[in-house]
Amino acid sequence: MKPIDWVIVGGGAVGVTTACLLADAGFSVAILISPASPGLPEGPDDLRSYSLTPASRRILAACGIWERLAPARITPYDRLQVWDAARGATLAFDAASCGRPALAYMVEHSQLQAALQAALLARPTLSVHAATLETLRPGELCCHLQLSNGQSLAARAVAACDGGDSPVRAMVGIECEERPYPQHAVIANVRCDQPHRATARQVFLAEGPLAFLPLPDPQLFAVVWSTTPVAAQALVSASEAVFCAELGRAFDHRLGAVLASTPRLAFPLTRRHANTYSAARVVLLGDAAHQVHPLAGQGLNAGLLDAAVLAERATAAGMVGLQHPQALFQRYERQRRGEILALLAATDTLNQLFLAREPWLGWLRNAGLALTHRLEPLKRLLMAHAMGDSGDLPALARPAASELF
Ligand SMILES: Cc1cc2nc3c(=O)[nH]c(=O)nc-3n(C[C@H](O)[C@H](O)[C@H](O)COP(=O)(O)OP(=O)(O)OC[C@H]3O[C@@H](n4cnc5c(N)ncnc54)[C@H](O)[C@@H]3O)c2cc1C
């Protein structure tokens, strides 16, 4: 069997972006898309939305995915407000203060899925297999893969983009540090009395952060509420009226009354980080390599940067790089691991700082928020991080000179 250059396992956003970038670089590529993806409800009740950074926008644009999103369904936001419910200090970011049009863009799950599928269909040489991976056997010259539809494939390299539970990670014996957060995330779409005015808002409550993120209708918001597992269960099973009242109270009615809500879903939150990002001819990307708390809205953004870095490294190494891909994988890991460690540390520290009950820590975080709010250069640095414009970026994620501060 003639080996394919790359087999991508997983048809989420990270998998499809990786497949498109590698195919565009001239490699032969196959992608396995599980026919029974546990996908979330789509259409009018599409509960999941992503906040995507300008860096992610550039990566998705480079492989024609961004252009396939309906412009009317992309919601840019140019302001971000964060505050501490207990002591009231507020930190506000404004894209205009550094001459940028948007801090980030909200995109609904169903819209992203449709654009990903269209991008795959537009590449007839990229072969799509509606199957899950059942077994993987790394060999000297290639990996042998057995699919659920009875087919077998041979691959010079395998990119595992198969999510936080990554079966591929387990198949090649990569260990993963795993720690559940003491919170579940409740998600819902809600209608409020007041419009969002292109602003994302997040309050830190005693049990975790609560975010109201703007959607295309000016009075509609995607809510992500991290709270104790018991409280999350109660919020999911509460009536719509009780949920709206609880939510409005928790948010201090900053957007007026919460008028209506979709049904809610709750997810356990887990921190994961693979001990190494590769073994034999297999490399991990996205949630398969690292899973972070959603409070910073950076999980998918980090996965898209993985895809861009791997594609850039693979293109530079060419076919020679695929003979012994470990060197290529190590260069990819060197570029990504430090960034991921910093992201994990920042999100964990923020989460723990706000969960802490000690009064002196409450004072410290309040003073920290208030001080940061007044320090314009520090705010610019934080904004650059939040927009994905800092760190060791792959060329296609870098802002054009005209976009810079
Ligand atoms: C409440 C919440 C809010 C979030 N908000 C944001 C946000 O605003 N911005 C952001 O950047 N991130 C956000 N995230 C994180 C983001 O959702 C994830 O980081 C991202 O979806 C990971 O993408 P992925 O492609 O790596 O994995 P996934 O989306 O999990 O895709 C993995 C795919 O692999 C498939 N698969 C698994 N096993 C196999 C197999 N054996 N064979 C074939 N296929 C297989 C699965 O079916 C799935 O389709 C949020 C997360 C949560 C929980």
Number of domains in the chain: 1
* pLDDT, tens digit (0-9, with 9 covering 90-100), for 117-164: 999 999 999 999 999 999 999 998 999 999 999 999 999 999 999 999
328-351 mean pLDDT: 91
87-109 mean pLDDT: 88
Distance between CA atoms of residues 191 and 319, nearest Å: 52
Give yes or no for residue 60 CB within 6 A of ligand 1. Answer: no
Question: Could you tell me the pLDDT band of residue 384, with boundaries at 50, 70 and 90?
Answer: confident
- Domain presence at residue 146: yes
- Domain presence at residue 184: no
Q: Is the pLDDT of residue 37 over 90?
A: no
- Domain presence at residue 32: yes
Q: Is the pLDDT of residue 395 over 60?
A: yes
By CB neighbour count within 10 A (0-12 exposed, 13-18 middle, 19+ buried), where does 125 fall?
exposed
- pLDDT score, position 374: 66
Ligand 1 nearest-atom number relative to CA 37: 47
Question: Could you tell me the pLDDT band of residue 40, with boundaries at 50, 70 and 90?
Answer: very low
More confident residue, 368 or 93: 93
C-alpha of residue 2 to centroid of ligand 1, in Å: 31
More confident residue, 85 or 371: 85
- Domain presence at residue 261: no
Distance between CA atoms of residues 275 and 255, nearest Å: 43
Domain range holding 343?
A: 4-178+270-403
Give yes or no for residue 14 CB within 6 A of ligand 1. Answer: yes
Question: What's at 333, amino acid-wise?
Answer: E
- pLDDT score, position 388: 79
Distance between CA atoms of residues 143 and 139, nearest Å: 5
Q: Is the pLDDT of residue 375 over 80?
A: no
- Domain presence at residue 199: no
* pLDDT, tens digit (0-9, with 9 covering 90-100), for 238-290: 999 999 999 999 999 999 999 999 999 999 999 999 999 999 999 999 999 99
What average pLDDT does the chain have? 91
C-alpha of residue 163 to centroid of ligand 1, in Å: 5
Smallest CA separation from ligand 1 atom 52, residue: 294
- Domain presence at residue 324: yes
The distance in angstroms from the start CA to the end CA of the chain is: 52
Residue 395 belongs to domain with CATH number: 3.50.50.60
- pLDDT score, position 41: 46
- Domain presence at residue 299: yes
Q: Is the pLDDT of residue 39 over 50?
A: no
Site to substitute for ligand 1 among 75, 181, 300, 344, most atoms within 8 A of C-beta: 300
- pLDDT score, position 290: 98
Distance between CA atoms of residues 91 and 366, nearest Å: 10
Smallest CA separation from ligand 1 atom 9, residue: 297
* pLDDT, tens digit (0-9, with 9 covering 90-100), for 187-211: 999 999 999 999 999 999 989 999 9
What size, in residues, is the chain? 405
Tokens read off for 111: 């819209």
Ligand 1 nearest-atom number relative to CA 38: 47
Site to substitute for ligand 1 among 287, 343, 385, most atoms within 8 A of C-beta: 287
Cβ-based neighbours of 183, under 8 Å, separated by 6 or more: 207, 208, 226, 227, 228, 229, 232, 269, 351
Percent of the chain with pLDDT over 70: 93
* pLDDT, tens digit (0-9, with 9 covering 90-100), for 332-343: 999 999 999 999
Q: Cα angle at 180 between 108 and 348, to 5 degrees?
A: 75
* pLDDT, tens digit (0-9, with 9 covering 90-100), for 67-93: 999 999 999 999 999 998 887 778 888
Smallest CA separation from ligand 1 atom 28, residue: 163
**Residue 224: strand pairing partners:** 187, 211
Give yes or no for residue 310 CB within 6 A of ligand 1. Answer: no
288-296 mean pLDDT: 93
- pLDDT score, position 349: 82
- pLDDT score, position 45: 55
- Domain presence at residue 398: yes
